[in-house]
Amino acid sequence: MAEEIKNFLYLNRRAPYGTIYAWESLEVVLIGAAFDQKVSLAFLDDGVFQIVKGQDTTGVDMKNFSPTYAALGDYDVNQLYVERESLEERGLTVDDLMHLTWEDEDEDWAEKDSIRVVSRAELAKIIEQQDVVFSF
Amino acid sequence: MKFAIQINEGPYQHQATDSAYLFTKTALEKGHEIFRVFFYHDGVGNGTRLTTPPQDDRHIVNRWADLAEKYDLDLVVCVAAAQRRGMVDAGEAERNGKDATNIHPKFRISGLGQLIEAAVQSERLVVFGD
Amino acid sequence: MSELHTVNKSPFEKSSFDSCVEHVLEGSAVLLYEDGVYAAIRGTAAEGKVKSAQGVKFYALGPDLKARGLSGERVTDGVEIVDYAGFVDLAAEYDKVVAWV
């Protein structure tokens, strides 16, 4: 049982800064990365705002934690599913998001995109395939 | 069956911890195992021994503590979330130079890895939040 | 794998219920509890969504309905009322629990 590898999905449905959920859930992802489980993140509903580029918190005196998303690739967290309908409902396209990448060790450290835009129907199936879903 | 419970909200403000408590208690009464109850975000506030609700209200902290006593429950408060919100045990008080502690003796403060481990070791993770 | 989805917020306050029902697959279930039970009430804007979810079973937590003054007769046809023991049974019966907090 202890050796079992599970599929973990972190369900991100909240915008950053208005509440601490996004930042503290990212802390779980970073800690969880050390556990050798198969990890993916889903960004849907207001969660898509978490990875919008150009975040600048200097005027609100809060920590800008958005650079941490770019570090996820170094933690082998490179399956980031972003729901297309959630983007569209919020007037966003993938160009509004940070360019998040990871380096594939098996392909001579080729840089690859971590973000995969998926439809709502596809995301429903992705959720279905998981063993554990974390919600914050 | 083995359950892990995650609680994201503090006592009284949200019903989350009430629901989690009743779920946990019922699961134990039905003979299930609760691997761990993990308190995260404002949920860390469920672990303060200084809570004093009015006489005619439920005592959320003591209720968890009593359940822990009866079933030997593992009640874990996340250290990172606890530090931000001023939840302190003796070790944390010493490390951070604080002059008081407020953690209830039936709770313990530990790292986020405890949540991940609980999810790995349990057959179900049930999350209660806002 | 089958899922038990849980919704604990009013469908009139937050998008949790709407988002949940849009991601629920056939063979799974939705448990409405806390303020989520308002989505289980007949004659609300949520009723149509409950009724049109194909192959999805809906449950509402009885103690939360009662606390809010909602009798069983107010609940949409097809929604089954369960107690906490039923909640625990559902969490064990389905392969995992997905919380739409």
Q: Indicate if the pLDDT at residue C34 is higher than 80.
A: yes
Q: Is the dihedral of CA C74, C78, C83, C88 positive or negative?
A: negative
Whether the Cβ atoms of residue B126 and residue B4 lie closer than 8 Å to each other: yes
pLDDT in tens, A28-41: 999 999 999 999 99
DSSP B19-37: HHHHHHHHHHHTT-EEEEE
Cα-based distances in Å from A77 to A38, A94, A124, C84, C88: 9, 19, 20, 36, 32
pLDDT of residue C1: 87
Chain B interface, Cβ < 8 Å to C? 1, 3, 8, 15-16, 19, 22-23, 25-27, 30, 32, 124-130
How many Å apart are CA B62 and CA C54, to the nearest integer? 44
Complete domains list, chain A, with CATH? 7-135 (3.40.1260.10)
How many Å apart are CA A83 and CA A26, to the nearest integer? 18
CATH of the domain at C73: 3.40.1260.10
Cα-based distances in Å from B7 to A6, A114, C11, C44: 21, 30, 22, 30
Q: What is the ipTM of this complex?
A: 0.97
Query: C52 CA to chain B: closest CA distance, Å?
Result: 26
Residue range(s) defining the domain that contains residue C39: 3-100
Q: Do C96 and A124 touch (CB under 8 A)?
A: no
The amino acid occupying position C66 is K
pLDDT of residue C6: 98
A8 CB near a chain B CB, below 8 Å? yes
pLDDT of residue B68: 98
pLDDT in tens, B1-45: 999 999 999 999 999 999 999 999 999 999 999 999 999 999 999
Mean pLDDT of A22-30: 97
Which residue in A has a C-alpha nearest to residue C22's C-alpha? A120
Q: Indicate if the pLDDT at residue C76 is higher than 80.
A: yes
How many domains does chain C divide into? 1
pLDDT of residue A52: 98
A88 CB near a chain C CB, below 8 Å? no
Whether the Cβ atoms of residue A51 and residue A81 lie closer than 8 Å to each other: no
Q: How many CB atoms lie within 10 A of CB A68?
A: 15
Catalytic annotation present for B78: yes
pLDDT confidence tier of residue A73, bands split at 50, 70 and 90: very high
Instruction: Report the percent of chain A where pLDDT is more than 90.
Output: 96
Q: Indicate if the pLDDT at residue A1 is higher than 90.
A: no
Instruction: Report the percent of chain B where pLDDT is more than 90.
Output: 100
Chains that touch A (3 or more CB pairs under 8 A): B, C
pLDDT in tens, B75-114: 999 999 999 999 999 999 999 999 999 999 999 999 999 9
Average pLDDT of chain C, as a whole number: 97
Cα-based distances in Å from B95 to A102, B90, B105, C49: 37, 9, 19, 53
Q: How many CB atoms lie within 10 A of CB A93?
A: 10
Q: Do C25 and A132 touch (CB under 8 A)?
A: no
How many Å apart are CA C97 and CA A29, to the nearest integer? 19
Nearest-by-Cβ selection for A24 from B81, B113, B127 = B81
Nearest-by-Cβ selection for C96 from A13, A120, A131 = A131
Please report the beta strands in B11-61, taking only residues with DSSP state E, as ranges in sequence order: 33-39
- What would the two tokens of residue B64 be? 């968890």
pLDDT in tens, B38-63: 999 999 999 999 999 999 999 999 99
Backbone angles phi, psi at A56, to 5 degrees: -140, 110
Q: Indicate if the pLDDT at residue C50 is higher than 60.
A: yes
Query: B82 CA to chain C: closest CA distance, Å?
Result: 21
Average pLDDT of chain B, as a whole number: 98
Whether the Cβ atoms of residue C68 and residue C39 lie closer than 8 Å to each other: no
Whether the Cβ atoms of residue A42 and residue A123 lie closer than 8 Å to each other: yes
User: Which residues share a beta bridge with B127?
Assistant: B6
pLDDT of residue A2: 52
Instruction: Report the percent of chain C where pLDDT is more than 70.
Output: 100
